[in-house]
Amino acid sequence: MTNFERFYITWYSRAIYFAREYVLSESDAENIAQDVFLHLYEHCDRLDAYTNLTAYLFTSIKNKCLDYLRKRVNEQEAVAEMQSEFDMTLRMKYDSLEILNTNFPDETDIEERLEQALQKLPERCRSIFVMNKLEGKKQQQIASELQISINTVESQMAIAYKKLREELKDCLPLLLFLFTLP
């Protein structure tokens, strides 16, 4: 039996037990111990005779456990952030429905509100918005026709959306519903 085999037999179960104190499952602890022993085996020729192999083993397991826990913390933070964004979106939808004004005399009133909001947009902004949303032109096509950059088209569309959202905030969900139907 080689020195490494004796070391492995002596310390493997202890290494798993040590890792198990810090990680979430037995299988994760086993994976960490196996990874560390494999690394030791592959690099045992680089360790000199004065290396305290037991200290090296437990330091390596400690570091692998820290990596494992760091990854889990980052995953949990990402999940919490996604949940927070979902909650905020849900809240915005709820608030939007709460203030929704559905008391329009008829469809003409809605069209008038939309036309008034469009007229309040700056000229270039309005023409780009109309070309894109009402005429169905692609942003690249608009940029070519008006001899402007696609970034300008995108920024003008963003301005239009922002101003229209502000202007039509009390009936925006209804407008989106009415104007997206076939």
Q: Tell me the average confidence (pLDDT) per consecutive run of 10 residues in the chain, 182 residues long.
A: 87 96 94 95 76 89 97 94 90 76 61 84 92 89 94 92 79 55 40
**Structural tokens at position 83:** 């949940």
Q: Give the per-residue pLDDT at 175.
A: 57
Q: Give the per-residue pLDDT at 161.
A: 84
DSSP per residue, 91-136: HHHHHHHHH-----SSHHHHHHHHHHHHHTS-HHHHHHHIIIIIS-
Q: What is this structure's pTM?
A: 0.51
Q: Within 10 Å of residue 63's Cβ, how many Cβ atoms?
A: 12
Q: Within 10 Å of residue 53's Cβ, how many Cβ atoms?
A: 14
Q: Give the per-residue pLDDT at 165.
A: 79
Q: Within 10 Å of residue 15's Cβ, how many Cβ atoms?
A: 23
Q: Give Dmax (Cα) for the chain.
A: 92
Q: Give the per-residue pLDDT at 103.
A: 60
